[in-house]
Amino acid sequence: MLQVRPKPISQQADLLTVDSLCVSFGRGIAEKAAVRSMSFSLRPGRCLAIVGESGSGKSVTARALVGLAGRHANVYARQLSFEGTDLIGLKDRAWRRIRGNEIGFVLQDALVSLDPLRRIGTEIGEGLLLHGAVSSRKELAQRVIALLKLVGVPEPEIKAQQLPHQLSGGQRQRALIAAALALDPRILIADEPTTALDVTAQAHVLALLEETKTRGKALILISHDLAVVSQVADEVLVMRGGEVVERGIAAQIFKEPRHPYTRELLDAVPSGRPRGSRLSPSTIVRSPRWQTLPPVQCLPKSHSILLEAINLVKRFKAPDGTLRAAVDGVSFEVRSGETLGIVGESGSGKSTMARMVLALEEPDEGAVHFASLPWTTLAERERRVRRRAMSIIYQDPLGSFDPRWTVGRIISDSLSSDVETRRMRKECVSELLDMVGLSQALLDRRPLELSGGQRQRVAIARAIATHPAIIVCDEPVSALDVSIQAQVLDLLGDLKERLGVSYLFISHDLSVVRHISDRVIIMRRGRIVDSGATEEIFCNPQSEYTKSLIAAMPRLVRDQQLDHSATVLEEGIP
């Protein structure tokens, strides 16, 4: 890309000006405010981060800035302009000239944002075609491959020909970033751009964002990952309940936070905290029913090894017709009452291995034993009696929910048949919502009406509904803000201690894995390259790959040098 030396900040005019932005939904007495009096300005070469809990108004703000707040949204502002162009009331045709070309937008949920029937290369190249940025199909293909390489997608020629479901979660997220960067926009709005990425891919994207800033582009970063924000952002807005509760330069926010809520968010970050210590001051609700209900009874009690994987192999046919091993000779065991963490880069085979453990995918070679009894070699009708003893928290909760069902029905459907009466089931559903920090007001909502973090908490409530002996956790906290992540990690620890439940905990977040795991396995290209006790792996890694992962971990920077020359507070904008 063309290297442009940005002007000194003091000499640059604002690209984007937002004064008293308000976004609400509904009419009359039913109108509810999602964003109240949001004000800021954005200059070239600067990154503004917006942080806060799920439902605080971050994503609604981002969508309002690009005219995608929704048909039923009411958007007001004293001023909302891009380089002097008033964006309030802009018609669709005018928005299409600006959106993508001048203001790029990376959406939060990659699986929902990508068309499941279109190949990745077609998705990325669409903006180039619409804006006439390429003159031939050959040039289009070359630009798509270059963009996939830019965001670190392996084998870009192959991935460009694949459908979204054939890519890992991290690869789909990087494809969205590539699409947003295709036209080299003046402003890039990134809504959780690194949430689904492993640490190496995350480091690559962060370096890309930094390079984008140095070329004079402006960034708006929306993220619950405060470690990422501390490394990229110049200014920070902290949102809660649709309002900004604290704002300032990043160094000031992370070193000397003024608002109690900001301090609470920073204290919930697991990085640098003692392993297994409580991260949240919140008390998880535990009703008498949940305290006395015993663990699942269909398993023998005396097994020290609860789950054993023996030489698992799974191959898939690549687009070029060759067979490739997604999992290649993986063996491990999970003991009763322990947490085994599994770490690896996107596409390393973690999720495929999890599906084989759950007997949702049949191994080409090898087997899984559950409580010293055959598991993957059984017919499904023979496994069914023990199914409720093994549960899962999926990486993509939206894809695992029936979109027509309410939250109450989703959770109720997972309850054991032992919960017989309607009243008992309703009480259990309410208690489960309390346990994962969700309001009872969400009972009648459907999945698409929830934020990403709320959907993930519903998935966790569903997973623990049967009191399983082991839970396969596939990125269970990747979509959660730090305060809810802290509560959920504490909750998982409480359940482990009280019920003796075991976890197979898959995550790209090394700080989370280190905090919750007793032992850790490191995977790369379908194979295990390192394994051992958690502190041994993190303090004395043996493989060069493990060393590179640990070195790439984003760390919360709280001792930055304060620079009072920059601020998000502009004269005349409160």
Q: Residue 439 is part of a domain; what is its CATH number?
A: 3.40.50.300
- What is the C-alpha separation between 480 and 482, in angstroms, rounded? 6
What pLDDT does residue 511 have? 87
At residue 8, the pLDDT reads 44
Specify whether the CB–CB gap between 33 and 22 falls below 8 A. Answer: yes
Domain count, the chain: 2
Residue 444 within a domain:
yes
**Whether residues 158 and 305 fall in one domain:** no
d(CA 557, CA 252): 11
pLDDT at 295: 45
Task: Confirm if 485 and 512 have CB atoms less than 8 A apart.
Answer: yes
Are 329 and 463 members of one domain?
yes
Q: Are residues 173 and 299 in the same domain?
A: no
Q: Which of 505, 480, 493, 489 is nearest to 55 (CA)?
A: 480
Does residue 205 lie in a domain region?
A: no
Question: For each of the chain's 574 residues, which pLDDT tens digit applies?
Answer: 333 334 444 446 789 999 999 999 988 888 889 999 999 999 999 999 999 887 788 889 999 999 988 888 899 999 999 988 899 888 888 888 898 899 999 887 666 778 888 999 999 998 898 888 888 899 999 999 999 998 888 889 999 999 988 887 778 888 888 998 899 899 999 988 887 677 877 888 888 888 888 889 999 999 878 888 888 899 999 999 899 999 999 988 888 899 999 988 888 888 767 677 777 775 444 443 444 444 444 454 545 889 999 999 999 887 677 888 999 999 999 998 899 999 988 778 888 999 999 999 999 999 999 988 899 998 888 888 888 889 998 877 777 888 899 999 999 888 866 666 788 888 888 888 887 778 898 999 999 888 767 888 898 889 888 888 899 998 888 767 777 788 778 878 887 887 788 999 998 888 889 999 999 999 998 999 999 999 999 998 888 999 988 888 877 766 655 444 444 444 333 3
Alpha carbons 12 and 34: distance in angstroms, whole number: 32
Residue at token pair 């891009």: 82
Question: For residue 505, is it within any domain?
Answer: yes
Query: For residue 296, what pLDDT is reported?
Result: 44
Instruction: Tell me the sheet residues that pair with 32.
Output: 25
Looking at 162, 184, 206, which one is the last position of a domain?
Answer: 184
Question: Does residue 448 fall inside a structural domain?
Answer: yes
Task: Measure the CA–CA gap between 273 and 227, rounded to whole angstroms.
Answer: 14
pLDDT score recorded for residue 283: 47
Which residues have a Cβ under 8 Å from the Cβ of 351 and sit 6 or more positions away?
Answer: 168, 169, 395, 474, 506
If asked whether residues 292 and 180 sit together in one domain, one would say no
Same-domain pairing of 322 and 449: yes
Indicate whether 258 belongs to any domain.
no
Cα–Cα distances in angstroms (integers) from residue 69 to residues 23, 455, 477, 500, in the given order: 8, 20, 26, 45
> Measuring CA to CA, how many Å separate 345 from each of 198, 244, 324, 334?
5, 35, 17, 21
Residues 158 and 298 in one domain: no
Residue 106's pLDDT is 87
Residue 445 lies in a domain: yes
Whether residues 330 and 476 fall in one domain: yes
Domain housing 335 = 288-378+385-551
Q: Which of 184, 204, 236 is the last residue of a domain?
A: 184
Same domain, yes or no, for 335 and 462?
yes
DSSP letter, residue 293: P
